[in-house]
Amino acid sequence: MAVVREITFAEALNEALDYEMSKDEKVIVMGEDVGVYGGIFGVTKGLYEKYGSERVKDTPIAESGFIGTAVGAAAAGLLRPVVELMFIDFLGVAYDQIYNQAAKIRYMFGGKAKIPMVLRTTCGAGFAAAAQHSQSLHALFIHVPGLKVVMPSTPYDAKGLLISSIEDDDPVVFIEHKGLYGIKGPVPEEPYSIPLGEADIKKEGKDVTIVATAAMVHKSLEVAKKLEEEGISVEVVDPRTLVPLDVDTILNSIKKTGRLVVVDEGYPRCGFATDIAALAVSKAFDALKAPVKIITPPATPVPFSPALEKEWIPSSEKIEKAVRDVL
Amino acid sequence: MAVVREITFAEALNEALDYEMSKDEKVIVMGEDVGVYGGIFGVTKGLYEKYGSERVKDTPIAESGFIGTAVGAAAAGLLRPVVELMFIDFLGVAYDQIYNQAAKIRYMFGGKAKIPMVLRTTCGAGFAAAAQHSQSLHALFIHVPGLKVVMPSTPYDAKGLLISSIEDDDPVVFIEHKGLYGIKGPVPEEPYSIPLGEADIKKEGKDVTIVATAAMVHKSLEVAKKLEEEGISVEVVDPRTLVPLDVDTILNSIKKTGRLVVVDEGYPRCGFATDIAALAVSKAFDALKAPVKIITPPATPVPFSPALEKEWIPSSEKIEKAVRDVL
Amino acid sequence: MVVEEIPKETLLWMYETMVRIRVHEERVAELFAQGKVPGFVHLYVGEEAVAVGIMAHLRKDDFITSTHRGHGHYIAKGGCIKASMAELFGKKTGICKGKGGSMHIADVEIGELGANGIVGGGIPHAVGAALGIKLNGLDSVAVAFFGEGASNQQNFHEGINIASIWKLPVVFVCENNLYQISLPYSKQQTIKSVAERGKAYGIPGVAVDGQDVLAVYEVAKEAIERARRGEGPTLIEVKTYRFRGHFEGDPEVYRSKEEIEWWKNNKDPIKIFEDVLLKKGIATKEELEKMWEKARKEIEEAVKFAEESPWPTKEDVVEDVFSTPTKGVLVWQW
Amino acid sequence: MVVEEIPKETLLWMYETMVRIRVHEERVAELFAQGKVPGFVHLYVGEEAVAVGIMAHLRKDDFITSTHRGHGHYIAKGGCIKASMAELFGKKTGICKGKGGSMHIADVEIGELGANGIVGGGIPHAVGAALGIKLNGLDSVAVAFFGEGASNQQNFHEGINIASIWKLPVVFVCENNLYQISLPYSKQQTIKSVAERGKAYGIPGVAVDGQDVLAVYEVAKEAIERARRGEGPTLIEVKTYRFRGHFEGDPEVYRSKEEIEWWKNNKDPIKIFEDVLLKKGIATKEELEKMWEKARKEIEEAVKFAEESPWPTKEDVVEDVFSTPTKGVLVWQW
Ligand SMILES: Cc1ncc(C[n+]2csc(CCOP(=O)(O)OP(=O)(O)O)c2C)c(N)n1
Ligand SMILES: Cc1ncc(C[n+]2csc(CCOP(=O)(O)OP(=O)(O)O)c2C)c(N)n1
Ligand SMILES: [Mg+2]
Ligand SMILES: [Mg+2]
């Protein structure tokens, strides 16, 4: 078999967008600076030149207006919009259109409407971007029924999941960690899709299960690798899609190892990490041999100073300690 | 001791508002229909007549604008606004001003500002008010650091907690379950305050702990009473304030009983119920004798039809079954 | 616009549709009082000429977005009253299978993209439908209905500006009924007319008497034709009044009985239009009376259908969240 | 406004403050390039006359709300550059103890209610300060700064309407620098001037050349005096241009080098004002040059202070969330 070329996470997403736009005229891209600029993180690069200003639409700063526009176009059955919300932190100026409109229309209409749209957005700290440009707010989308929520960790997953998301008939929130845009990985040139709702075991192991998301998958793998040398066998499960959640894969891993550490960059309370801990204690209680350890940032806004931010973000050291603690 | 008079939950809140407005000129009330109308649920009744249109301000439908106005007035050190968001469901049109502004200003400014404001709002299903007027979205406030979150279940708690909330120098989200407005209970005429961060054991017991919020406290007490007759002793813990959370009281109860059922009307995932389950499995694992049972509505929007809604809301039957299951 | 320029069948359709809305709404008020229709119910009595004057120009493949006060829009757009009545009852045969209720009545099939429980929430949806129309090269239009209260809300501002810069085929219809629940218009804005806001977005803004269906018809014609020609959006402010409380059960402490009576006596859109039809000899008293009877019969049949329809079941609660059955979605219990 | 009507010390303060902002911003650009100032940094070069022309009328007990491009507002309002420079570095001695950074610089003590990372986010805060001023019977005013991009956002619409109906002492200053990152003004709105939107709220809307500090001074004087007299809000659109990228590191693919050069050569607010001062004999070349030197010295001292200041520590992360130490707040770990 030929060696698969390596491209970045951002490039993988760009390929998915390009493929979908070339395949289906109804797919359009909307958002701030997605056109000439190519997206503030470069993900929509080249699309404006290729598909023109009608299908790659730069918007004014009116997130509620333009996300609502996407909802209406989708509900009317006329378009399949892929909308970019520049930072997940900005969801507050458009949240109603996401959680009360996009998420609920199908249900409120008795199943008689579809909302095929994707809301792409970016999350994550580590860039001294401070409290309003660094958050990981996926829990706010998971909490509300009616949204699918995707959060990939590798270029390969990014491409396959974005293709699935755009082809899905339900509203999907697709969350890209800013720290991952530059990482490279093998990605087939041809289009492929990864079903929503399938976790990926990024590393098999038998002593401890780590469930981790996005950038935290990589930190967890680092730790797993390090501990491997000491003979501690860590399994790293990447749910990839947070709604629907691959409950079976996660529970099976917990049942196998009996020990669970959850690592997530979201805020600690009512977050994805507590979600998984709750899943474990309600559905795999008998298998659990130790307390579940939850590694998240503290319950504070994201501080600006790099000196503070590096303490705020879950570190490999904390993950490692948690694994040792549950052993 | 004289018999304490009984008043409704709504009246208790009204007394707290009246007391605070009479005491401190900086306290003002703002929101839709809080003036002549007296609030859509009657909580601000009489305040307009007593304090006038400058301090009891009817607003246009501009939740981001008027909640942001309250934030600015508070940050400037000039007012202590009590703002009414008519239904918690509407938070999406104003969420940025709550979670990115009110919640974070103090931290972002290095502790050099205070935001003494209360956001009063209503939650809860049971009125065939459908998907956009029935939600219990407290998790969306708990998740975000920087907000205090209060959710009383009795008239007594309502008055004392609202007084504390208005006197607190931080932003407080004060959530009133619509189903509780009419319930009566003993409430002293004089003002009193209940500290934020103190749970209340609404009923002592030794076999199973139920942690429940708002209207679910009453359902849980019903179940506890019924099971008492069978010799099953249920402890019902009402956290009352969800941030700060009285972790000690909750953990002590779990450690005492070894069994936990959490009952909450919020959505199941990344919710308050999963939060408490996660707390239990990470901090009281050794005490747990059975899986934690989580009773919430399903992960669907709130259906309109009373026939559907009654299935959607956690029922006494489900709570009872959960208690029996963990025994 | 002179009546003579409007086809007779259109005139009669307008009268009949106003009557059907009126009869529907008054019947729903009774059903609410009887406890048969639960929840929040906002009725359209007094405002019938708005929906009808606009909808007279719309085709089935045009789109509208509606509000919490949406029964009139739904009926005028061609919605099935049986299905909506069953919905108001919360029955399984409802247009939304009992999941939506009054505030979420919708029928995408006829271009009714939904009532909305969030004030202003539907405005951008109309903009979106219009974007879809434009990109698909269709000659349909979209119309957003909303109250004057909504014109102070974010989606009005953001939605209209987007429609303007992208020159979309959408008409914004502001139903200024002088109240935002208890707040009179004079305390919502310092301007005298919402129509003045058109200029802020570089689009035409027109105000019109909403109790005169012919006046509404006329401004709507121009705005909708303009949109269909690809010349962009228009903002229409229709000055109207609701004859009933904000919602059923409203104590109406904020306005006087006299004010309401004045409007009912002097500005009833059906009476006003009836006078024109009779004076111009377009219809006879008897013909019009027949329409009322027919409407009453239609509504009674709908009520009967609703009453006899089955309730949705427990299993229905978890249906219709997603379009594909999806494992890993937590439906019932942890 | 003729220069003669303005006190000489005000004129010199304006020049000096513009220079201080310019020197500050260009130094920060260097520091960013050197990796000493991290994060997103949006500079104010080219727009100095806006902050200065407005702030010339403000007292310490007046309030402002600022934007992501806020250094100029902070400096003109009287902010301490040492403290803000340390903040930009992320040091413990920073005005926000290193927790805010460029996008959140604030000093409530001097009425600077904060830069904001959310476009339009600060607009209602100024409205709130104005409400507080009014209810407390003070004669202060509040000024909201924001870009033309923000004028399409919800808080512009909702905030201004509230200020208008409540007749609050607030001035809305829209810095129209012709770009919303890459989107030119002509694609953001179909109107020709944001000032036209004043009418939509029944308040005066005035457009002014933002490269001419005297012109800004003049319209600001009227608007701020009007607000102080209790006559309500004004919307001022200041036409300006940013000489640097949207943020540091911006490749600026969306505008030509020629366009930028034209503005720098023909519309530099400092040069324009310098010409006036010299021509009118208000200051000599040497006096002005001294101000530059003084500014450079001030900024270098600030940089030194920032560089030598300690970093915040791990313990600081969990401080300052709430105003009272509160048990039951999960700070570090589950
Ligand atoms: C965002 C939002 N805020 C508040 C409400 C509560 N509410 C429902 S209808 C209404 C008044 C609407 O006034 P208007 O837009 O004039 O419409 P009308 O009821 O007069 O037809 C309000 C405040 C809501 N549903 N949504
Ligand atoms: C609500 C929100 N949307 C988008 C952004 C990203 N963003 C930051 S600055 C900016 C452009 C702002 O344009 P304008 O208001 O004209 O101010 P300028 O940068 O030109 O000074 C954008 C889109 C944001 N910070 N907040
Ligand atoms: Mg109205
Ligand atoms: Mg700009």
C221 Cα–ligand 2 center, Å: 39
- The burial class, CB within 10 Å (0-12 / 13-18 / 19+), for B169 is middle
Residue type, D123: I
pLDDT digits (tens, 9 = 90+) for C111-123: 999 999 999 999 9
A280 Cα–ligand 1 center, Å: 43
Indicate if A178 and A235 belong to the same structural domain: no
Residues with CB under 6 A from ligand 2: A 32, 61, 63, 86, 90, 93; D 68-69, 117-119, 147-150, 175, 177, 179-181, 246
**Closest Cα of chain B to C317: distance in Å?**
6
C228 is catalytic: no
Residue type, C218: E
Asked if the C-beta of D334 comes within 8 angstroms of chain B's C-beta atoms, the answer is yes
Residue type, B321: K
pLDDT digits (tens, 9 = 90+) for A79-120: 999 999 999 999 999 999 999 999 999 999 999 999 999 999
Among the bound ligands, name the one nearest to the CA of residue C151: 1
Q: Is the pLDDT of residue C230 over 70?
A: yes
**Closest to C150 measured CA to CA, from C192, C180, C120, C121:** C120
The CATH number of the domain holding residue B218 is 3.40.50.920
Pocket flag, ligand 1, residue C250 (CB < 6 Å):
no
Indicate if A178 and A293 belong to the same structural domain: no
pLDDT beneath 70: ranges in chain D: 1, 328, 330-334
Pocket flag, ligand 1, residue C150 (CB < 6 Å):
yes
Asked if the C-beta of B58 comes within 8 angstroms of chain D's C-beta atoms, the answer is no
CA-nearest residue to B115 within chain D is D323
Indicate if B248 and B148 belong to the same structural domain: no
Which residues of chain C have a CB within 8 Å of the CB of A109?
A: 96, 99-100, 104, 106, 108, 114
Among the bound ligands, name the one nearest to the CA of residue C181: 1
Residue at a domain's end among B140, B162, B188: B188
Give the burial string for C21-31 (b: 16+ CB within 10 Å, else e): bbbbbbbbbeb
Pocket flag, ligand 1, residue C179 (CB < 6 Å):
yes
- Distance of alpha carbon D226 from alpha carbon D207, whole angstroms: 17
Whose alpha carbon is nearest atom 12 of ligand 1?
C180
| pLDDT at site B1 | 53
C-alpha distances (whole Å) from C132 to each of A229, B165, C120 are: 57, 48, 20
Q: Inter-chain contact D99–B60, Cβ cutoff 8 Å?
A: no
Task: Quickly count: other Cβ atoms within 10 Å of residue D204's Cβ.
Answer: 18
Within a domain: B193:
no
**Closest to C306 measured CA to CA, from C315, C317, C298:** C298
Question: Looking at chain C from residue 193 to 252, which residues have their Cβ under 8 Å from any Cβ of chain B?
Answer: none
Structure tokens that stand for C126 in this block: 């109309």
**Closest to B174 measured CA to CA, from B265, B242, B238:** B242
| pLDDT at site A310 | 97
Q: Which pLDDT band, with edges at 50, 70 and 90, does C2 fall under?
A: confident
- Distance of alpha carbon D19 from alpha carbon B189, whole angstroms: 62
Counting one residue from chain B and one from chain C, the pairs whose CB atoms sit within 8 A come to 144
| pLDDT at site C324 | 81
D239 φ, ψ to 5°?
-80, 120
Indicate if B178 and B264 belong to the same structural domain: no
**Closest Cα of chain B to A267: distance in Å?**
6
Among the bound ligands, name the one nearest to the CA of residue D66: 2
pLDDT digits (tens, 9 = 90+) for B165-210: 999 999 999 999 999 999 999 999 999 999 999 999 999 999 999 9
Indicate if A94 and A210 belong to the same structural domain: no
Indicate if A118 and A169 belong to the same structural domain: yes
Which residues of chain A have a CB within 8 Å of the CB of C102?
A: none
Peptide bond into A244 cis (omega under 30): yes
- C3-332 placed in CATH 3.30.390.50: no
Bridge-based pairing state of the strands B148-150 and B241-243: antiparallel
Q: What is the mean pLDDT of chain A?
A: 97
Which residues of chain D have a CB within 8 Å of the CB of A40?
A: 181
**Closest Cα of chain D to B76: distance in Å?**
6
Question: Looking at chain B from residue 289 to 318, which residues have their Cβ under 8 Å from any Cβ of chain D?
Answer: none
Indicate if B11 and B141 belong to the same structural domain: yes
Among the bound ligands, name the one nearest to the CA of residue D147: 2
Per-residue three-class SS string for A109-140? CCCCCCCCCEEEEEECCCCCCCCCCCCCCHHH
Asked if the C-beta of A108 comes within 8 angstroms of chain C's C-beta atoms, the answer is yes
Handedness of CA A12, A18, A21, A23 (dihedral sign): negative
Per-residue three-class SS string for chain D? CCHHHCCHHHHHHHHHHHHHHHHHHHHHHHHHHCCCCCCCCCCCCCCHHHHHHHHCCCCCCCEEECCCCCHHHHHHCCCCHHHHHHHHHCCCCCCCCCCCCHHHCCEHHHCECCCCCCCCCCHHHHHHHHHHHHHCCCCCCEEEEEECHHHHCHHHHHHHHHHHHCCCCEEEEEEECCEECCEEHHHCCCCCCHHHHHHHHCCCEEEEECCCHHHHHHHHHHHHHHHHCCCCCEEEEEECCCCCCCCCCCCCCCCCHHHHHHHHHHCCHHHHHHHHHHHCCCCCHHHHHHHHHHHHHHHHHHHHHHHHCCCCCHHHHHCCCCCCCCCCCCCCCC
The CATH number of the domain holding residue B20 is 3.40.50.970
Asked if the C-beta of C253 comes within 8 angstroms of chain A's C-beta atoms, the answer is no
**Closest Cα of chain D to B82: distance in Å?**
13
Per-residue three-class SS string for chain B? CCCCCEEEHHHHHHHHHHHHHHHCCCEEEEECCCCCCCCCCCCCCCHHHHHHHHHEEECCCCHHHHHHHHHHHHHCCCCEEEEEECCHHHHHHCHHHHHHHHCCHHHHCCCCCCCCCEEEEEECCCCCCCCCCCCCCHHHHHCCCCCEEECCCCHHHHHHHHHHHHHCCCCEEEEEEHHHCCCEEECCCCCCCCCCCCCEEEECCCCEEEEECCHHHHHHHHHHHHHHCCCCCEEEEECCEEECCCHHHHHHHHHHHCCEEEECCCCCCCCHHHHHHHHHHHHCHHHCCCCCEEECCCCCCCCCCHHHHHHHCCCHHHHHHHHHHHC
Helix axes B9-23, B155-167, angle to 10 degrees: 30
Give the burial string for B126-154 (b: 16+ CB within 10 Å, else e): bebbbbbbbbbbbbbbbbbbbbbbbbbbb
| pLDDT at site C84 | 98
D242 is catalytic: yes
D260 Cα–ligand 4 center, Å: 14
Bridge-based pairing state of the strands C179-180 and C183-184: antiparallel
- pTM exceeding 0.90: yes
pLDDT beneath 70: ranges in chain B: 1-2
Q: Is the pLDDT of residue C327 over 80?
A: no
Question: Where does chain A show beta strands of DSSP type E?
Answer: 6-8, 27-31, 56-58, 80-85, 118-123, 148-150, 172-177, 184-186, 200-203, 208-212, 234-238, 241-243, 260-263, 293-295
- Distance of alpha carbon C152 from alpha carbon D88, whole angstroms: 38
Residue at a domain's end among A188, A215, A232: A188
Indicate if B9 and B140 belong to the same structural domain: yes
Are the C-beta atoms of residues C142 and C177 closer than 8 Å to each other? no
Pocket flag, ligand 1, residue C103 (CB < 6 Å):
no
Pocket flag, ligand 1, residue C155 (CB < 6 Å):
no
3-state secondary structure of A24: coil
How many domains is chain B built from?
2
Helix axes C48-55, C8-33, angle to 10 degrees: 140
Indicate if B132 and B276 belong to the same structural domain: no
CA-nearest residue to C233 within chain D is D190
Residue at a domain's end among A120, A153, A188: A188
For residue B294, the enclosing domain spans 200-326
> Which of D61, D170, D326 is most worth mutating to test chain B (most B CB atoms within 10 A of its CB)?
D326
Place of tokens 């104010």: D44
Within a domain: A103:
yes
pLDDT beneath 70: ranges in chain A: 1-2
Catalytic residue, candidates D68, D125, D244, D246: D246
Give me the residue from C152, C161, C190 closest to D152, CB to CB. Answer: C161
Asked if the C-beta of A148 comes within 8 angstroms of chain C's C-beta atoms, the answer is yes
Q: Inter-chain contact C117–B33, Cβ cutoff 8 Å?
A: no
Which residues of chain B have a CB within 8 Å of the CB of A90?
A: 96
Counting one residue from chain C and one from chain D, the pairs whose CB atoms sit within 8 A come to 65
Residue C176 Cα to chain centre, angstroms:
13
| pLDDT at site A1 | 53
Q: Inter-chain contact A92–B99, Cβ cutoff 8 Å?
A: yes
| pLDDT at site D325 | 72
- Distance of alpha carbon C295 from alpha carbon D125, whole angstroms: 53
The residues of B assigned a catalytic role are 133
Q: Is the pLDDT of residue C330 over 80?
A: no
Within a domain: A62:
yes
CA-nearest residue to C192 within chain D is D202
Within a domain: B41:
yes
Are the C-beta atoms of residues B96 and D137 closer than 8 Å to each other? no
Indicate if A30 and A147 belong to the same structural domain: yes
* All chains having 3 or more CB pairs closer than 8 angstroms to chain A: B, C, D
D150 Cα–ligand 4 center, Å: 8
**Closest Cα of chain D to B304: distance in Å?**
30
CA-nearest residue to B79 within chain D is D132
- The burial class, CB within 10 Å (0-12 / 13-18 / 19+), for B203 is middle
- Distance of alpha carbon A276 from alpha carbon A306, whole angstroms: 30
Which residues of chain A have a CB within 8 Å of the CB of B91?
A: 95-96
- Distance of alpha carbon C19 from alpha carbon D293, whole angstroms: 81
Which residues of chain D have a CB within 8 Å of the CB of C153?
A: 154, 157-158
Residues measured by CB to lie within 5 Å of ligand 4, the ion? D 147-149, 177, 179
Pocket perturbation via mutation, ligand 2, pick of D25, D119, D151 by most ligand atoms within 8 A of CB: D119
User: Which H helix or E strand runs over C170?
Assistant: strand C170-176
CB neighbour list of residue B305: distance below 8 Å, 6 or more residues apart: B128, C90, C91, C94, C98, C99, C101, C311, C312
Bridge-based pairing state of the strands C179-180 and D205-209: unpaired
C217 is catalytic: no
